[in-house]
Amino acid sequence: MFKETKTHEVTTDVVIFTIEDEKLKVLLVKRAHEPFKGKWAIPGGFIRISETIDAAALRILKEKTNVQNIYLEQLYTFGDPLRHPDSRVITCAYFALIRSDDIVLSFDDNSEITEVQWHPVYNLPKLAFDHKEIIEYSLKRTRERLEFCPIAFQLLPEKFTLTELQKAYELILGKKLDKRNFRKKFLASAILKELNEFTKSGSKRPARLYSFDKITLDSKRGHFFS
Amino acid sequence: MFKETKTHEVTTDVVIFTIEDEKLKVLLVKRAHEPFKGKWAIPGGFIRISETIDAAALRILKEKTNVQNIYLEQLYTFGDPLRHPDSRVITCAYFALIRSDDIVLSFDDNSEITEVQWHPVYNLPKLAFDHKEIIEYSLKRTRERLEFCPIAFQLLPEKFTLTELQKAYELILGKKLDKRNFRKKFLASAILKELNEFTKSGSKRPARLYSFDKITLDSKRGHFFS
DNA sequence: GCAAAAGTGTTCAATGTACACCCATGC
DNA sequence: GCATGGGTGTACATTGAACACTTTTGC
């Protein structure tokens, strides 16, 4: 009975969302080897024997984006025996939301990968393994989370306008929202800090900048991210 | 890098809730061997090389309870390198809700287990591994699910009274609910079928029996259990 | 007739939704 | 002065929460 388990392999894959060019995008890597050589996949890797699964996911996030201290949530563990064509690989998937500016995509020259790139979520190339399913499920979960917690702030710069925040919501949810209701809700929620700064307008009325109120956010962390 | 993964072991553990003697209980097994010999644990086992994780969890559920076709949901994957004292064991935890009547608890004489028993959730013995944490998290998720889907019906017989349904909710949520509001909500929801049958009262007013409307439930399955 | 559980409605507060116009700026 | 995106409030419907008494039965 124990013998059987020896050939399991356990990986973690991380779905990393961002907003770039007014589009919701996901980070993909191009595979250097078979199986699925030359196909796009979400970044992932083996879980090391003495690291937690969370740590493995964070490590992979950092390897590709140099980003740390991010909202990273365990999504689901995918274990169909046929999901990997060669061997039994169980993967514990995570998802994360990050800002794409001031990020330098990178990868070691370990010959596992030949490219790293952002791809529009709503227009993905053909993906390796069951990664399409994993991304779809991530999006679904992100939408569910968004109804309760303001995780969209991970996608925005420290100072942002309400319109930018609304755009982020609309991109994730895939639908238009009512401007007045949106603003009313956030201004009532006390998680935003109204700044006395405005965008230097490029040919239109300057917009007020807001930031997330770290104190309120931390105090509600258990509530939001439980 | 690949070599490292060879010593991972992957199991699934299943938290099985039921209601017995007006208490919310969870199924525990007593371990026959070290580590944690003689300690109570939630039932679990290795995932076979060619079965899905879902199938493994269902198999374990069936081995202990002979129950199939049940609401079984993947909970979370626990992978702290120190959660097992001897080796690296990653476990993919599931939870399920079942009725305890007409269930015969059982276990193979494979000498892994010396006992199988229901234990009150709110009064657990000391548990092996991180199983206390897993049960607590299961309860939390069950509560969250309960706010959206009527999963409590898994705990009840086919025909039940509104009071029994309410009791099930109260036991899971750990708090009293308002009778009138509770009934109003369910009678408005159209997921209950009102039967022309009543409990044969034991010294009190007979109560109307209801059953879950399978058709409505199935049509809302995607909605509830998405 | 009394103990025990079944059954029943109204009011109020909070929340979500629909909806249209004026404002400040750059050109 | 006009085009562009920024900013604002009201009315309505839905939902959840609080709350107390009458009914039916077995004994």
- The DSSP annotation for A138-205 comes to HHHHHHHHHHHS-GGGGGS-SSEEHHHHHHHHHHHHTS---HHHHHHHHHHHT-EEEEEEE---SSS-
The answer to whether the Cβ–Cβ distance between B10 and A7 falls below 8 Å is no
SS3 state of residue A207: coil
- Quote the pTM value: 0.93
Taking CA atoms, B127 is separated from A3, B43, B57, B91, B117, in Å, by 26, 12, 20, 16, 13
Q: Which of B75, B140, B96 lies closest to A92 in space, CA to CA?
A: B75
The answer to whether the Cβ–Cβ distance between A10 and B8 falls below 8 Å is yes
pLDDT band of B93, cuts 50, 70, 90: very high
Contacts of B88 in chain A (CB under 8 A): 49-50
Instruction: Count other Cβ atoms within 10 Å, centred on residue B33.
Output: 11
Which residues, other chains included, contact A183 with Cβ-Cβ below 8 Å and sequence gap of 6+? A162, A166
Helix axes B131-146, B162-173, angle to 10 degrees: 130
| Residue of B52, B74, B226 with shortest CB distance to A80 | B52
**Whole-number distance in Å between B8 CA and D16 C1':** 48
What local confidence, expressed as pLDDT, does residue A2 receive? 40
Q: Is the CB of B180 under 7 A from strand C?
A: yes
Query: Which residue in chain B is spatially nearest to A93 when comparing CA positions?
Result: B77
Q: What is the mean pLDDT of residues A105-127?
A: 90
Q: Which protein residue lies nearest to nucleotide D4, measured between its Cα and the C1' atom? A: A204
pLDDT digits 0-9 by tens, A185-204: 999 998 999 999 999 877 78
Could you give the CA distance from residue B118 to residue B28 in angstroms, rounded to a whole number?
Answer: 6
Question: Residue B7: left if φ>0, alpha if ψ -120 to 50, beta else—which one?
Answer: alpha
Q: What is the mean pLDDT of residues A14-19?
A: 97
pLDDT digits 0-9 by tens, A24-64: 999 999 999 999 999 999 999 999 999 999 999 999 999 98
**Whole-number distance in Å between B180 CA and D11 C1':** 30
Which pair of tokens denotes residue B127? 């548990």
Cross-strand partners of A194: A210
pLDDT band of B107, cuts 50, 70, 90: confident
Percent of chain B scoring above 90 in pLDDT: 76
Q: Is the CB of A200 under 7 A from strand D?
A: no
Q: Is the peptide bond before A35 cis (omega within 30 degrees of 0)?
A: yes
The answer to whether the Cβ–Cβ distance between A81 and B49 falls below 8 Å is yes
Could you give the CA distance from residue B163 to residue B117 in angstroms, rounded to a whole number?
Answer: 27
Q: What is the mean pLDDT of residues B157-167?
A: 96
The answer to whether the Cβ–Cβ distance between B88 and A49 falls below 8 Å is yes
Rounded to a whole number of angstroms, the distance from the CA of A41 to the nearest CA of chain B is: 19
pLDDT band of B2, cuts 50, 70, 90: very low
- DSSP letter string, B110-128: SSSEEEEEEEETTS---BS
Query: Which residue in chain B is spatially nearest to A55 when comparing CA positions?
Result: B80
Could you give the CA distance from residue A26 to residue A188 in angstroms, rounded to a whole number?
Answer: 32
Which pair of tokens denotes residue A215? 């104190």
Instruction: Count other Cβ atoms within 10 Å, centred on residue B1.
Output: 9
